[in-house]
Structure 1
Amino acid sequence: MKLAAIPMLIIGLCVGCTSTGTVTSEQLKHTQWQLSRVDGLAIPPSFNASIGFIEALQVNGFAGCNKFFGEGELDDSKLTVNKLGMTRKSCGAQLDKFEQQLLQALKQGSTVKMQNQRLLLQAKKTFEFIAK
């Protein structure tokens, strides 16, 4: 009888793995993500970007050239980062433009989805991150 419960437990755990429903701050807390794709296209190695979430939905990361940080707010699966601060290095026109697109998506707000160990931020562009 106990063995019959194991497949149900496994099915229940896997349902959470592929969930695309409402993302909560608890799901994001203490997670780290590495950018892998933008609008479905693999990013060049030079565009190495990441994002992390700590207590009280504090956000920090690396946008490819500059570090950033701010106060995240999650409302109905929309993530907005307020009081966004960052270092101010320039790494060339192409990388600077990429950074601005990512940071703009965070400032203006992006729809957040989690699916199969991936975090999607959808704004004008879709940023796809993988779990670190």
Structure 2
Amino acid sequence: MKSAIAATTALLLTACAGGLATTESELQHQRWALASINGEPVDAGIGSELIIGEHMAVSGLAGCNRFFGSARLERERLRADPLASTKMACPPDIQQIEAAVLATLGGGAAVEHQQGRLTLTGSDYVLDYRLADED
């Protein structure tokens, strides 16, 4: 009985101290549309997206190039390294979006996941994704 009370207390303290940890299962099998970078809206017409599949396989559209690889989630940080991508030339404004996405995923980012929103905070960029509508 004491162990059950201790476990419940620990769980409640963790929840009050900053929320429960994001798990791989919460991120997998989802398609995320990039909404903003560092608080600046991203044109939805660009179609930048992040898809997290089975076994943390990642793919998507960074800006004008597609990328793929695998990710891992360790201590609330998501890292997808190495990533492979196509190598098409991009207009400068889209290249900036692409560079931010690839740098953040490859360099690792703190993860915040709640209610259809995924925020990845890397060393230089904060990427805010929204759960994409399934067509």
2:102 matches 1:84:
no
Q: Is the 8 A contact 1:20 1:114 kept in 2?
A: no
Whole-angstrom distance in 1 between the partners of 2:85 and 2:65:
6
Once residues 20 and 36 of structure 2 are traced to their aligned partners in structure 1, the CA distance between those partners, rounded to angstroms, is: 21
Superposition deviation, residue 55 in structure 1: 1.0
Distance 2:111 2:20 in 1: 9
Q: 1:9 matched to which residue of 2?
A: none
8 Å CA contact 1:32–1:50 kept in 2: the answer is: yes
- What is the TM-score when the length of structure 2 is the normalising length? 0.78
Q: Structure 2 unaligned segments of length 5 or more: list them.
A: 1-17
Distance 1:92 1:52 in 2: 23
Which runs of structure 1 show a deviation greater than 3 angstroms over 4 or more consecutive aligned residues? Answer: none
Query: Whole-Å Cα distance in 1 between the matches of residues 67 and 120 of structure 2?
Result: 16
| CA distance, structure 1, for counterparts of residue 92 and residue 57 of structure 2 | 29
Percent of aligned positions with the same letter in both sequences?
26
Q: 1:58 and 2:57 equivalent?
A: yes
Q: Secondary structure at the match of 1:82?
A: coil
Q: Cα deviations across residues 84-117 of structure 1 (Å, max 9, x unaligned)?
A: 0001001122211321121011111011111221
Letter in 1 for 2:79: T
On the 8 A contact 2:34/2:49 being kept in 1, the answer is yes
Q: Distance in 2 between matches of 1:88 and 1:41?
A: 25
> Which has a greater percent of strand?
1
Provide the secondary structure at the position in 2 that maps to 1:94.
helix
CA RMSD of aligned residues (A): 1.6
1:116 counterpart = 2:111: no
Tell me, in whole angstroms, the C-alpha distance in 2 between the residues paired with 1:99 and 1:20: 31
Deviations 1:10-65 (A, max 9, x none): xxxxxxxxx95321111111011001111122113454310011111000110120
What is the alpha-carbon distance in structure 2 between the residues aligned to residue 21 and residue 93 of structure 1?
39
Q: Verify the 8 A CA contact 1:20 1:115 in the aligned structure 2.
A: no
Q: TM-score, normalised by structure 1?
A: 0.80
Higher RCO by CA contacts (8 Å cutoff, separation 6 or greater): 1
